[in-house]
Amino acid sequence: MAIEGNPKTCVVLSGRSLIGKSLVSKLLKSETWIVRIADSAPSLYLDLKETNNSILSQAISSDRASYFQVDVRDKSQLITAIEGSSVVFHLEATDLSSSDFYLQYLITVQGTRNVINVCRECKVKSLIYNSSADVVFDGIHDIQNGDESLQYPRKFEDMLSDLKAQAETLVLLSSGDSGLLTCALRPSNAFGPDDTHLVPLLLSGANSGLAKFIIGNGENMCDFTYVDNIAHASICAEKALRSTNTSAAGKAFFITNLEPMKFWEFASMILEGLGYQSPSIHLPARLFSFFLRLANYVQGKLGYHFNAHSLLNPAIVQLHSRTRTFNCSKAQTHIGYSPVVSLEEGVTLTVESFSYLAEDSPYTRYCNNSEPSKVDKLLGSGTVAEILLWRDEKKTFNYCLAMLMLYNWFLLSERTFISSTAKLLLLISVILFGHGILPSSLCWNRFGFTIQQLSPSHFEVSVISMNYILASLASSWNRLMQTLKSFAQTGDCNIFFKAAISLYLAKILLSLSFSTVIGVGLVFAFTAFFTYEQYEEEVNRVTKVSLNGVKKLTRSLIKSLPVSVTSFLHSLPSVGSG
């Protein structure tokens, strides 16, 4: 590949990040740049796609691209990478998994200050900083078509946005000092192939079951920016700073795909493209945030902290439940930006890059599996299984709500059980009586719902149903008697241990209050079966490992016993055989 005359040298800090890879590729394709890739890794590692005859591998072979290990906290490393270059693209890949404020401050703020100082010392002409649209978001108020006149919030909900705002301020204020021209780009919700933030965040929620839920009313609009468009905007900004018209210097620009859409529609496009179930159940944003803050407080007291960019971080909940759209007219006017990849095409390319994850998604396994799961068979593969396994979310929610109301009515009130039953029957009788005397001409549709007349058959129990219930009770009783008979006659130690453990668990349950046992049982019924079905393979794997560990421990304990005791135990049935 030929190089045009007088190629310019540029440095891409965090050149192996999501945006960095795209920017490096575009710079090399232009054939006018010698590109220095700077990142924190000790050496440049090319993945399979980059190794197989890619523009990057060719550029490295022809010395058009080189790699530098750089820690932005170390000025000497920065000088080695930047000296002799005319342009620096500071993309600043922050460690999103860390909740260490001081570390993030050193990388984001102090690191940016070091970059600015080195650029001055090395007589760099242009510095383009990749910031974030979230630097103007306070975590509380919606932003609709916001422009660059928006001020930084007095208080930030998100630590990383606060630090980025500080770094952005340093960059913009340094413009014009020692001949250095600067500007900042504010992309909104960056995403793309091999994304390490937004898409993994959605997939993490899908694998944990949280992606079923829509936080808030689901109507909040957001802007998204495909990674190639951010790289394109960076090149546009460099050209604007290099031109005689310096109107871009010292300014920040919002960068989006110019296609705002509902956040949860975007999430559904990604998740459905990878075979996951799209969000469908609405949760109140304020209530959800309150419980997360409470959980954060408790975990903080215990010495634990949520991942800074976890779906269980209150700041992330606010980001995903608020409207955040931005006006890019200033970027279009001053740096000549316009998207080069549409949102639809960007989503398609992103989904394709994560296609290897689609086969392992729990929802795909469930949809492709015609056989009922183990827990479905355990629950009878009928109505009970349908309710407890959340096949129909609305139906299960209604049953769950009804059970909680009954639990509160009978067990949490100060009334006796008989008094509660009498009051409930009285309430039902009054409702049925009132329903029965309603004139048929009364129209309830104007209120948005219809009450249908109940036929007497609704209160009948069929003979088949009663026979099934009685047969189930008889079968359970017979199994219990058979177990007791085996325990009394065979002396099987396996049965003995099962009986001992069962009695011990019964003792624990009986020591608790009846209301506590029922409450725990309700929570268990509506969560445990569903969770097991979603993570059946993982649970079975952990159970197998645990059982093997118990067996090894049992063998080691038996070996440490006296010979006489060991001989006695081996003489018993089913002992020592495993």
Return the pLDDT at 545.
74
- Measured CA to CA, the distance from residue 363 to residue 367 in angstroms comes to 6
Q: Which residue, among 175, 82, 187, 70, has the nearest Cα to 130 in the 3D structure?
A: 187
Q: Which residue, among 56, 52, 49, has the nearest Cα to 20 in the 3D structure?
A: 56
Q: How far is CA 566 from the centre of its chain?
A: 52
Bridge partners, residue 226, by sequence: 191
User: Which residues have C-beta within 8 Å of that of residue 237, sequence separation ≥ 6?
Assistant: 128, 183, 185, 248, 253, 335, 337
Q: Backbone dihedral region of 391: left (phi > 0), alpha (psi from -120 to 50 degrees) or beta? A: alpha
Return the pLDDT at 470.
83
The SS3 call for residue 146 is strand
Q: Which residue, among 31, 39, 255, has the nearest Cα to 128 in the 3D structure?
A: 255
Q: How many CA atoms lie within 13 A of 198 on its CB side?
A: 25
**Active centre residues (catalytic):** 164
The CATH number that domain 8-365 falls under is 3.40.50.720
Residues 228, 341: contact at Cβ < 8 Å?
Answer: yes
3-state secondary structure 320-355: HHCCEEECCHHHHHHCCCCCCCCHHHHHHHHHHHCH
Q: Which residue, among 45, 135, 119, has the nearest Cα to 75 in the 3D structure?
A: 119
Instruction: Please state the pTM of the whole predicted model.
Output: 0.66
User: Which residues have C-beta within 8 Å of that of residue 199, sequence separation ≥ 6?
Assistant: 191, 270, 350, 354
Kindly give the confidence (pLDDT) of every residue in the chain, 578 residues in length, as a single tens digit, with 9 standing for 90 and above: 445 556 899 999 999 999 999 999 999 998 899 999 999 999 888 876 766 657 888 899 899 999 999 999 999 999 999 999 999 999 976 655 566 788 899 999 999 999 999 999 999 999 999 999 999 999 889 999 999 999 999 998 888 899 999 999 999 999 998 899 999 999 999 999 988 888 888 887 777 767 777 888 889 999 999 999 999 999 999 999 998 777 899 999 999 999 999 999 999 999 888 888 788 777 777 777 777 777 766 666 655 555 555 666 777 777 788 999 999 999 999 999 999 999 999 999 999 988 877 755 555 555 555 567 777 877 777 888 888 887 787 888 888 888 888 888 888 877 887 888 888 888 878 877 776 666 655 544 444 445 555 566 666 777 777 787 788 788 878 877 877 777 666 556 666 666 777 777 777 777 778 788 888 888 888 888 887 777 776 677 777 777 777 777 777 777 777 776 666 666 655 444 44
Q: Which residue, among 486, 500, 188, has the nearest Cα to 325 in the 3D structure?
A: 188
- Measured CA to CA, the distance from residue 313 to residue 174 in angstroms comes to 34
- Measured CA to CA, the distance from residue 22 to residue 327 in angstroms comes to 24
CA distances, 563 to each of 297, 493, 554, 559, 570 (Å): 54, 19, 15, 8, 10
